[in-house]
Structure 1
Amino acid sequence: MTMGWTPERDVVLLAGTPAGGGQDRPARALLAILAEQGLVGAPMSLVNIPGRGGGNAWDDLARHPGEAHRLAINSPTILSNRALGVSGLAWDSLTPLCNLYTEHLAFIVRPDSSITDAAALLRRLGTDTAGLPIALATAIGNANHIALAHLTRHAGGEVGALGIAVFDSARDAIAHVLAGHAELGVITAASPVPELTAGTARCLAVSAPARMEGVYAGVPTWREEGVDLVAGPWRGVIGPAGLSPEQSAFWEEALRAATAGEAWREELARRHWSDTFLTGEALRGFLREEDASMTDALRELGLLRESPPG
């Protein structure tokens, strides 16, 4: 670990979703490993600030420039929020520290759903777009929404007619489906594992590049179903603006060490996460590319509502 700077007091890690949500899960896993391996040398705690797909947590960071004891989980919504005019906060006005992983999407229904398979879902999206109630997390215009729009366009449906209920947590979106309020859920693959295991939900397809393992072993990819769709949100760690090079270096090294061991590898496998760890200029280049491609996708799919604020 670098000796140029070390934490001098308690550290807070923010998650922009409720407990059990897509940003909460990596936060808890990281905190456990950082503590177990003694990589920080100061107490760390988790604070959940849900809302706007993580936007409320990132706004909190923006109010604490130079505060290296306050970090947050990062996700693609930081890009889509700005592209859609939901937020004026740009990712590069904060300090990205690392990318952790990418998780692909599961398209789930109730076991007794009349949507029997992926082909049936495509038919429904093409012929009855507005009549299909859908639940997703965590924000309009996020990776889940873009993937759903891609499928709808492929099926010949009207993207603007999609009937979507948005939740701060994938767990809430799943509950909405199971309660019968939505017919389809589009959520990260880790989220419905308990329901898929128990048989209270059924997965039609996943947006992974190849077949997944565990409860997803028998589930086709969208590519197998004739749709060129590989998609899913990434998660990272981001800090406030104004961190010194020494502070950024400390956190990059701590996060690299935490994700290099067997405990993190086991977490990746258990959660169906794909390792996409990046730091430094490689991370910033990745975020620049993601920002441009997401803006293009939102515009092409009719989801871009206004130009990003200057």
Structure 2
Amino acid sequence: MLRTLLSLLLPAWLALASFAVAAGQPPDAECLVPSKPGGAMDLTCKLAQLGLRNQPSVPQLKLSYMPGGVGAVAWHTLGSQRRSEPNTLVAFSGGSVLNLARGKFGKASVDDVRWVAAFGTDYGMVAVPASSPYKTLGELLQALRRDPRRVLVGMSGTIGSQDWMKMALLVSKAGVDPRKMRFVALEGGGEQFVAMQAGHVQAISGDASEALLYAGRGTVRVLAVLSEQRLPGLLAGVPTAREQGYDVVWPLIRGVWMGPGVSDADYRRWVSAFASMEADPEFARMRAEAGLYPFSRTGDALTRYVKQSIADYNRQAAQFNLVRER
């Protein structure tokens, strides 16, 4: 798994980074995680860090964290105070794009940043503690149908977020009004699993790559993955929601963007580095170990994809009469 690679590679790199700081030479490049450590955004930056380490055109990445507003704090910080930094990347996901579409970043638009690369796709999932009485997705949804307030669901973000949308689509298939769901808004996937393991929530709506970090510990039961077909590897035994009679598929891309004031030359340098990274068979192996699946868009192609995704998300939100925030 990717965390095994990280346990081997990161200590040595961190030692070099510490030496550089001590010598008054800060690291040259940064991948900013817009959430707390332990979730899929963290995983995105770590995968970029490992994948780019042999790309000579760009400096090595260090990771830093800027949680808040489910990505809004990082978005506005880079868009205003740090808009021209040539070597700062920010992780994003399909959930970030959904938040942008729904107005959760204020008046921000897709053109306010520079979209660099998307280098993998993930899928939604639903999980409960291993000790939960719910053994299948159907059992969980039927419990919610009997009493929507009975199960407290942990999710990243509030009403209209991607985790909320995934559960809304599922419970609506079971005949439940999504507005009656009882949920706790948390900051990132890592916090979701911590809250569930502490007994603060009885289920979580999250992502498959996050589940991979916890499913092998025997404390989590993944009830369904929201993919077209079963996923390989550790989650191979987990049925899709479709298999269980609930036709919901939720893919989400993972990648990085940069501030709007970055020069064309620096922007193209990073776009080219990611394009080379994604063509490397070694990166394909690391991506698979991270629980992500092939998806490649860089530069202008990614920008067009994000714009189309925003239109698609807005159509989905209209199903639940969600009003765009202003």
TM-score, L = length of structure 1: 0.89
What residue identity is the alignment partner of 2:179?
A: G
Deviates more, 1:74-83 or 1:255-264: 74-83
Q: CA deviation at 1:94?
A: 0.8
Q: Contact (CA 8 Å) 2:75, 2:105: kept in 1 or not?
A: no
Which residues in structure 2 correspond to 1:1-310 (within 5 Å)? Answer: 10-40=28-58, 42-63=59-80, 64-88=82-106, 89-138=108-157, 140-302=159-321, 304-305=322-323, 307-309=324-326
Deviates more, 1:13-22 or 1:82-91: 82-91
Q: CA deviation at 1:83?
A: 4.1
SS of residue in 2 equivalent to 1:131: coil
What residue identity is the alignment partner of 2:216?
A: T
Aligned mates of 2:155, 2:134 — CA distance in 1: 17
> Per-residue CA shift, 1:223-257, capped at 9, x if unaligned?
11122211033211111113333222111101111
Q: CA deviation at 1:68?
A: 1.9
What residue identity is the alignment partner of 1:91?
A: V
Q: CA deviation at 1:300?
A: 1.4
Q: Contact (CA 8 Å) 1:77, 1:139: kept in 2 or not?
A: no
Aligned mates of 1:78, 1:109 — CA distance in 2: 24
Aligned mates of 1:11, 1:215 — CA distance in 2: 33
Q: Contact (CA 8 Å) 2:163, 2:205: kept in 1 or not?
A: yes
SS of residue in 1 equivalent to 2:268: helix
State the match for 1:5 in structure 2. none
What residue identity is the alignment partner of 1:19?
A: P
What residue identity is the alignment partner of 1:30?
A: A
How many residues are treated as equivalent by the alignment?
A: 298
> Per-residue CA shift, 1:44-79, capped at 9, x if unaligned?
322210112222111121013333222211223433
What residue identity is the alignment partner of 1:54?
A: G
Structure 1: runs of 5+ lacking an equivalent: 1-8
SS of residue in 2 equivalent to 1:275: coil
Q: CA deviation at 1:140?
A: 4.3
Q: Contact (CA 8 Å) 1:102, 1:232: kept in 2 or not?
A: yes
Q: CA deviation at 1:171?
A: 1.9
Q: Contact (CA 8 Å) 1:134, 1:165: kept in 2 or not?
A: yes
Aligned mates of 1:61, 1:204 — CA distance in 2: 37
The share of aligned pairs that are identical, in percent, is 24
Q: CA deviation at 1:86?
A: 2.7
Q: Answer 1 or 2: which has greater helix percent.
A: 2
Q: CA deviation at 1:159?
A: 0.6
SS of residue in 1 equivalent to 2:63: strand
> Per-residue CA shift, 1:258-279, capped at 9, x if unaligned?
2222332122211221121102
Q: CA deviation at 1:137?
A: 2.3
Q: Contact (CA 8 Å) 2:274, 2:298: kept in 1 or not?
A: no
> Per-residue CA shift, 1:76-132, capped at 9, x if unaligned?
343333444432222211111111211112211122212121221221232221221
Aligned mates of 1:145, 1:152 — CA distance in 2: 10
Q: CA deviation at 1:292?
A: 1.0
Q: Contact (CA 8 Å) 1:196, 1:202: kept in 2 or not?
A: yes
TM-score, L = length of structure 2: 0.85
Q: Contact (CA 8 Å) 1:55, 1:77: kept in 2 or not?
A: no
Q: CA deviation at 1:219?
A: 1.0
